Amino acid sequence: MRWALIGASRIASSYMIDAIRAQDGAEITAVLSSSAERGAEYAQTHGVAQSYTDLDALLSGAPCDAVYISTTNEKHHAQALACIAAGKHVLCEKPLAMSVSDANEMVTAAEDAGVVFATNHHLRNAGTHLAIREQIQKGAVGDVLSIRVFHAVQLPQDLQGWRIDNPEAGGGVIPDIVVHDADTVRFHLDEDPVSVVAKATASGLGEGVEDSVMSVWTMPSGAMVMTHESFTHAFARTGFEVHGTRGSIVARDVMTQRPVGEITLTDADGPRPIAFDAHNLYVRSLGLYYAATRGQGRPSADGVDGIKSLAVALAVKEAAETGREVVVDYGGR
C-alpha cells in the first residue's frame, strides 16, 4: 500500500513513518507541507520521494492508496474530504475536526465512498490497556463503579507551538488529550459518556487556551469517571484506575505512546501484578488498519470512535466554559 503523509508532522516522524513501513508492502510516496522548504527537507530526511504544498496536486500527482492526516486540527475536515473524494483510505489524527458535524461529514463521506477511515487513537492499541480491558471483560473487578484517568503531563518544548496558544488551530489540552481519555474509557467500558461537568484553567503554559482541565463524566451503566489532563505537570505520573464491586485495577505510566507501564489488580485475594504485551502501539494499529483495507476486521479506532471522542472533548470544553453539566451530543451516532 502506498501512503501519502498529509502534514510534515512530528507525530509522523516520531512514530507513524516507522509504523507504516513496518507493514508488508508499505511505501510512503509523498508528503504535504504548507512550506515547500520544510516539505522538501522532511521528505529528504525521511526518505520520501516527493513533497507537495498543494493537496490537489499531491492527490493527482503522487501514487497513493492511503493518506495519514496529521496537520493542525482545523485542516483535517477539508483535507479528509478531498482525500476521500479521490478514493483514498484515510487515517486521521485526533481530534478529527473542530466540530462533531464536520467529523460526521468526514466519516459519512468515507462510508459512502467505501474507503476505510480510522482515527489515530493509540492507547487502545497498548498492551497495558488491552490487558486491563481483558480483566474488566472477564469480571475481575465485578461491576465497574468508577474510573479515574490521570493524563497530566509536561508538554515537551518541541510540541508547544500552536497547542498552547492557537485556539483556531485546535490548541489547548482538551482537544489534545481529553479525546484520548474519552476514547480509552469508551474502549474499556463499551459505552459512551452521557454527560460531563468540568473546570479548566491556564496554569503557566496556555495563552488563550486552557492547559489544564479536570472533568467528571456519567456513563450509561452508572459508572462515574474523573479525568485530569494537563500540559504543565512535570512530576505527576500518568495513570488509569478501574474500581469495581469485586476489585480495583490501578495502572501507572500507561497514558503514553510508549509500550510501558505497570498494572496491579487488587481484590479479596490481595494485590497482584497483571502482565501485558509490550508491543509497539502504532505498529499494531497500522496492522489492524491494513487488515481492514483488505476487508478483514476493523481499525482499532474507526471514524465513529473519532466522532465520539471529539464529542466528549467538546462537551468537556463547553462544560468548563459555562459551568454547566453538558449532555454529550454525538451528532446522531
What is the contact surface with a second copy in residues (CB under 8 A)? 141, 145-146, 148, 150, 152, 195, 197-199, 201, 203-204, 212, 214-218, 222, 224, 226, 228, 230, 232-237, 241, 243-248, 250, 266-267, 319, 323-325
For the bound state, the minimum distance from the C-beta of residue 298 to a second copy, rounded and expressed in Å, comes to 32
Name the grid cell of 148.
479515574
**CB of residue 148 vs a second copy: minimum separation in angstroms?**
7
CB 194 within 8 A of CB 220: yes
- Kind plus residue range of the DSSP H or E element containing 198: strand 195-201
Q: In angstroms, what is the minimal distance from the CB of 311 to a second copy?
A: 18
Tell me the pairing of strands 50-52 and 27-32.
parallel
Least Cβ distance, residue 243 to a second copy (angstroms) = 5
Q: How far is the CB of 202 from a second copy (least distance, A)?
A: 9
| DSSP-derived 3-state class of residue 82 | helix
Closest CB to a second copy among residues 99, 218:
218
Closer CB to a second copy, 233 or 317, in the complex? 233
| C-alpha cell, 212 | 489544564
Q: Which three cell numbers stand for residue 71?
A: 496537520
Q: Which is nearer to a second copy, 116 or 200 (CB)?
A: 200
CA 143, CA 148: separation in Å to the nearest integer?
15
Q: Using alpha carbons only, what angle is made at residue 199 by residues 195 and 203, rounded to the nearest 5 degrees?
A: 150
Location of C-alpha cell 466519516: 107
Nearer to a second copy, 127 or 244 (CB): 244
Collect all residues with Cβ–Cβ distance below 8 Å to 143 and sequence separation of at least 6.
Answer: 221, 244, 245, 246
Rounded to 10 degrees, the C-alpha dihedral 102/285/293/185 comes to -50
Closer of 46 and 199 to a second copy (Cβ): 199
Q: Which amino acid is at 1?
A: M
For a second copy, which is the closer residue by CB, 27 or 241?
Answer: 241
Residue 98 to residue 283: CA distance in whole angstroms: 27
Which is closer to a second copy, CB of 226 or CB of 291?
A: 226
Residue 92: count other Cβ atoms within 10 Å of its Cβ.
28
